[in-house]
Amino acid sequence: MEALKKNPSWKGRRGPVVLVIMDGVGYGKYTEGDAVADSKMYHLAAIRAGSPNTRLKAHGTAVGLPSDDDMGNSEVGHNAMGCGRVFSQGAALVSKSIETGAMFEGRAWKEIISNVKDGAGGRAPTLHFIGLFSDGNVHSHLDHLKAMIARAKKEGVGRVRLHILFDGRDVGETSALEYVDPFEAFLKEQRGAQGEGPAFDAKIASGGGRMWITMDRYGADWSMVERGWQTHVRGTARQFASAREAVEAYRKEIPGIIDQDLKEFVIAEAGKPIGTIEDGDSVVYFNFRGDRSLEITAAFEEERFDHFDRGRRPKVCYAGMMEYDGDLHVPRRYLVSPPSIDRTMGEYLAAAGVRTLAISETQKYGHVTYFFNGNRSGKFDDRLEDYVEIKSDVVPFEQRPWMKCAEITDQVIEAVGSGKYDFIRLNYPNGDMVGHTGVYQAVVCSMESMDLQLGRLAKAVNAAGAVMVITADHGNSDDMFEHDKKTGAVSLKEDGSPKAKTSHSLNPVPCVIYDPEYQGEYPNEPKEGCLNEGLGISSIAATCIQLLGYIPPDEYDQSALKIESRG
């Protein structure tokens, strides 16, 4: 890796470069349901009105996803911003591995299959699949699950059990049965008619909402993982005859509940759970995204584990869809290798001696560290880098829509004025985490709370002679209602109210360059043409490197700034 070269055309600034990532904040396509535009964000509006700004692509192929129908997400968004170019990401890698057959030729797949085919002890060993049950393509995709079930049958596996996590976040908020019913038909087809070849016993065994069981991240709420463990492994949840019955019962008993919050359940026959996880079984966690995969993986793999009482811990052959942490090599067995991301912005800056602070609250701490650094745990240089995590509240986000944006800002303001750092990156999670709740009023509150902090931060940037780059990793709060794809009309519930949209959007995101001590190195007027247009968020890395006074690496995607670089 060649070292960054100084740009002699750059005249320098007194203060640091501050990268503000407004998670889940884009430019909405529709007037109705755009909580960002509907919010009184006076500070952001004033900064944007006086600064060069443009719109960046943050979804689909611009962040390494298979097509432009795929919404962006925080993982791939931070990867793109942090490494300055686009790598094929989780969904695309898994789809290609299945399409080429590479997954099924790999060692991990062969081990989980042979384990359940060669089991002994008088009991038919079972292949279990746990994961997000939707086609949202952010954490998982049902096509991947279908392909693995069909392959397992082809290879002679006799018994499969599914432990499904309802989405309602990356897909429609009450769409669970739109996935359950067709999948039950698929399983029936796989089982085949009676007397048709060897028996293939494939059934849904347990489940619940993704924000209630199993899929916690960053250690924010281990009780979610504990509920998932008790449900999937031990089968101690409320019993139903089918997944459909469970969904319908909880919707009736808890009016207004959305899929991500559905309570846990197990499927039982004659009062006995049909799919507990036992010694000798194999388990595949089929999510490809890492942040919500690490904790349940730890529960299966770690010998010393003190987050909750696992009770009976079955001896299983466990595999993740991908390697969720490349430094810690978690899980020990995985089906598809993640993208190999090198020469990240963080690595270049550390090599150049740039002093860096990365900060967010728990919900997005891993994004400004692990994902921003190319799926790498730890620091590039302990002497130059400080990482700060502010503990998130363990409450529903619609009840605290301001989250920890004020506390994050407190520490960033102190850091900006301290003279200790050259580059500061921070993430305000509000637009994404509150956006996922579908509660419109709470989202507006979250936006206005964040805007107050942008105003405070702008004052600190002014006082220190710093530069602030404001952007986002993807849209979400900008698209809070479901719309008819053909007419654009808002989709309505039976009571006539708008149907909430809880997933990410396909909308572009801001790129605003606030440079109060501008010295003429680039066009700096708030008008069209001052910044390069048509770029993706991968341009943020080169943009920040230029603002730090360096020439971006040749392989990086184009900067938003029109700065002349002379070596």
Q: What is the pLDDT of residue 26?
A: 98
Q: What is the pLDDT of residue 220?
A: 86
- Residue 91 host element (H or E): helix 90-100
User: For residue 325, is it within any domain?
Assistant: yes
**How large is the average pLDDT for residues 18-30?**
97
- What secondary structure does DSSP assign to 183-221, as a single string? HHHHHHHHH-STTSSS--EEEEEEEEETTTSS---TTS-
What does DSSP assign to residue 20? E
Q: What is the pLDDT of residue 194?
A: 46
**Residues 506 and 427 occupy one common structural domain:** yes
Task: Please say if 74 is a catalytic residue.
Answer: yes
User: For residue 560, is it within any domain?
Assistant: no
Helix (H, G, I), strand (E, B) or coil at 349: helix
**Residues 225 and 268 occupy one common structural domain:** yes
Question: Domain end: 301, 320, 336, which one?
Answer: 336
pLDDT digits (tens, 9 = 90+) for 414-460: 999 999 999 999 999 999 999 999 999 999 999 999 999 999 999 99
**Residues 516 and 408 occupy one common structural domain:** yes
Q: What is the pLDDT of residue 66?
A: 74
Catalytic one of 39, 74, 477, 503: 74
Is residue 326 scored above 70 in pLDDT? Answer: no
Question: Domain end: 277, 310, 336, which one?
Answer: 336
Which residues have a Cβ under 8 Å from the Cβ of 384 and sit 6 or more positions away?
A: 349, 350, 353, 354, 355, 356
Give the CATH number, domain containing residue 258.
Answer: 3.40.1450.10
- What Å distances lie between residue 255 and 247, 262, 437, CA to CA? 12, 11, 15
Question: Domain end: 336, 363, 390, which one?
Answer: 336
**Residues 204 and 174 occupy one common structural domain:** yes
**Beta 239-240 vs 201-209: how paired, if at all?**
unpaired
**Residues 188 and 135 occupy one common structural domain:** yes
* Main-chain phi, psi angles of 57, to 5 degrees: -75, 140
pLDDT digits (tens, 9 = 90+) for 41-66: 999 999 999 999 999 999 989 998 87
Which residues constitute the domain of residue 531?
Answer: 5-85+341-551
**Residues 325 and 382 occupy one common structural domain:** no
**Residues 380 and 353 occupy one common structural domain:** yes
What does DSSP assign to residue 424? E
Give the CATH number, domain containing residue 465.
Answer: 3.40.720.10
User: For residue 329, is it within any domain?
Assistant: yes
pTM, two decimals, is 0.75
**Residues 40 and 97 occupy one common structural domain:** no
Is residue 528 scored above 90 in pLDDT? Answer: no
User: For residue 536, is it within any domain?
Assistant: yes
**Residues 459 and 312 occupy one common structural domain:** no
Number of structural domains, the chain?
Answer: 2
Q: Which two tokens stand for residue 323?
A: 């390697």
pLDDT digits (tens, 9 = 90+) for 461-506: 999 999 999 999 999 999 999 998 789 999 998 899 999 998 889 9
